[in-house]
Amino acid sequence: MAGKVFFSVSMSLDGFIAPESIEDLMGQQWMELQQWIFPQRFFRENGRLGEGGEEGRDNDIVRELFERTGASVMGKRMFDAGAQAWPEDAPFHTQVFVVTHEKRDSWERPGGTTFHFVNDGIETALEQAREAAGDRDVRVAGGGATILQYVNAGLIDEFSIALSPVLFGTGIRLFEGIDASRVALEPVRTELSPRVTHLTYTVRKR
């Protein structure tokens, strides 16, 4: 039985998930947006950031996210930014399918992560990711434009947002350009932690 297709992001209170410029991805605003995840024990261990860290519901959510993911899909912009920041042992530990116009051989990293470059559309990337994931879920890892393509194409089953008490003012909005006439949401779960509010929705056609 095929798993779900989902995405999970951190979002500011005014609706942004990233700065406009790739050069600002590790800047102060982005770090504040992600501040809830960095101290978590599982995130630190998975990202080879050292021992220790916090445990609790936030940590459980991060662990559950990675445990359910059998393969990932991402856009070229996210890959380009991440390739500069991820350690050699990239933090996915699954097959990752990069939606791009570029023709390129697969790139295998230590620790079980292999990047495959798919240049014939989001549906093909998802088909390959589903096959790789087996009965586990496929995560659309980002960025915002790639997530939006999958939502508007009716290919997302579920998503979660870690709503952070941060204001961006400008940047990449999660739902900028959404086809609201085709997408309806059903609340699944709301969980409040000391740093963020976790919101989970299922997606259905309107």
DSSP code for 24 = G
pTM metric for this prediction: 0.93
User: Tens digits of per-residue pLDDT, 160-183?
Assistant: 999 999 999 999 999 999 999 989
Tokens of 128: 């390959």
Sign, CA torsion 146/49/163/4: positive
C-beta of residue 144 within 8 angstroms of C-beta of residue 178: no
In this structure, what token pair is assigned to residue 93?
């530990």
Residue tagged 């000391």 (tokens): 194
- Write down the mean pLDDT value for the chain: 92
Bridge pairing between strands 5-12 and 137-142 = parallel
Q: In the prediction, which pLDDT does 26 show?
A: 63
Work out how many domains the chain is built from and give that number: 1
**Residue range 127-149: mean pLDDT, rounded:** 96
Which of 86-90, 91-95, 170-174 bottoms out in mean pLDDT, i.e. has the lowest? 86-90
Q: Which tokens belong to 174? A: 């999660």
Domain that holds residue 107: 5-205
State the CATH number of the domain containing residue 180.
Answer: 3.40.430.10
Residue 1: band (very low, low, confident or very high) from pLDDT cuts 50, 70, 90: low
